[in-house]
Amino acid sequence: MTILITGAAGNLGSLLAAHLLQHSAADLRLMVHRHDVPEQLKVSGRSEVIRADLARPETLTPAVKGVEVIIHFAGILFKAGPEKFLPVTNTQYFQNLVDAANREQVRRVILISFPHVEGPTTPQHPATGWLDGNPVSWHARTRLEEEKYLFANAREPISLRVGMVYGRGMLMPDMARRLASLRLLGVWRQRTQIHLLSKEDFCVAVSAAAANRDAAGIYHLGDDGNDSLQEYLALACRQWRVAPPWKMPLWMLYSAAWCCELYSSLTGGGALLTKDFIDIGRVNYYGDTARMKQDLWPKLKYPTARDGLKTF
């Protein structure tokens, strides 16, 4: 089996590629745009790096030709004004990929999504796989549009709605750790339910979604814990032996986001924080993982963050 990973130079894409090279017999086609993949992912006879641009459909044909499964990660996150670019870089670019996959008769397309597309959810009322949600953030709205196009057009569509993936080397937790070490990590006071998943369990579940011929539909990937963002950060800071995050008023966090977006707009650089990040971060989210345990990964390596953070 040949698997195409889009966004293979990114954080989660390169993580999954390394896992597949070590734990599966699949050949990999690693799709990149501007940045190259880490050198350790270039394995002769197992992986091939190909450059393509989701904005240019004609470049996608060589990327998807001859592959059986596509796992889609590619996207833009850290940039000012997500309401302006996400309807294009998420929705339209993904449509280009699905259309190219159909032309080349790719069997399965897997979209990496998140539970926020169903709107606020909790362990008592978890996300269960609906496509009629009304999410509040631009990241979630455009990802929901991707899911709708996927299930209306792909031959074997799968959406993996993933909670927060943590572990050493993960972009957001590593950034939180650096900020905490500088006493710059802050979080709002109101408890926000989140659904966590270790990077090891994430890789196994996604690999199973690619390999299991009976897998289909929407799966929520998460552990068995019942955590809030505030509790997770406090627990992680204790593990890192740094001071806990500041409890900040929302106006202060939104002001910081405004400054970051202004810097991004003026310089063309990245935005560490945006208003939309805060909007999506404040949404309670929790997915029903019954289908994940039935079809993909029945026994988690780290059932809770308290188990997984011991290795972080």
pLDDT, one tens digit for every residue, the chain (312 residues): 999 999 999 999 999 999 999 999 999 999 999 889 999 999 999 999 999 999 999 999 999 999 999 999 977 777 777 888 889 989 999 999 999 999 999 999 999 999 999 999 999 999 999 999 999 899 999 999 999 999 999 999 999 999 999 999 998 899 999 999 999 999 999 999 999 999 999 999 999 999 999 999 999 999 999 999 999 999 999 999 999 999 999 999 999 999 988 988 888 888 788 899 899 999 999 999 999 999 999 999 999 999 999 877
What distance in Å separates the CA atoms of residue 80 and residue 61, rounded to the nearest whole number?
Answer: 31
Distances (CA, A) of 75 to 132, 194, 234: 23, 22, 30
Beta partners for residue 5, in sequence order: 30, 71
Closest CA to 11 of 46, 39, 37: 37
- Residue 176: how many CB atoms within 10 A of its CB? 22
Phi, psi (degrees; rounded to nearest 5) at 173: -60, -40
Phi, psi (degrees; rounded to nearest 5) at 4: -95, 125
E strand or H helix that includes residue 17: helix 11-23
Structural domains for the chain: 2-165+195-223+286-302 (3.40.50.720)
Q: Are strands 186-188 and 246-248 parallel, antiparallel or unpaired?
A: parallel
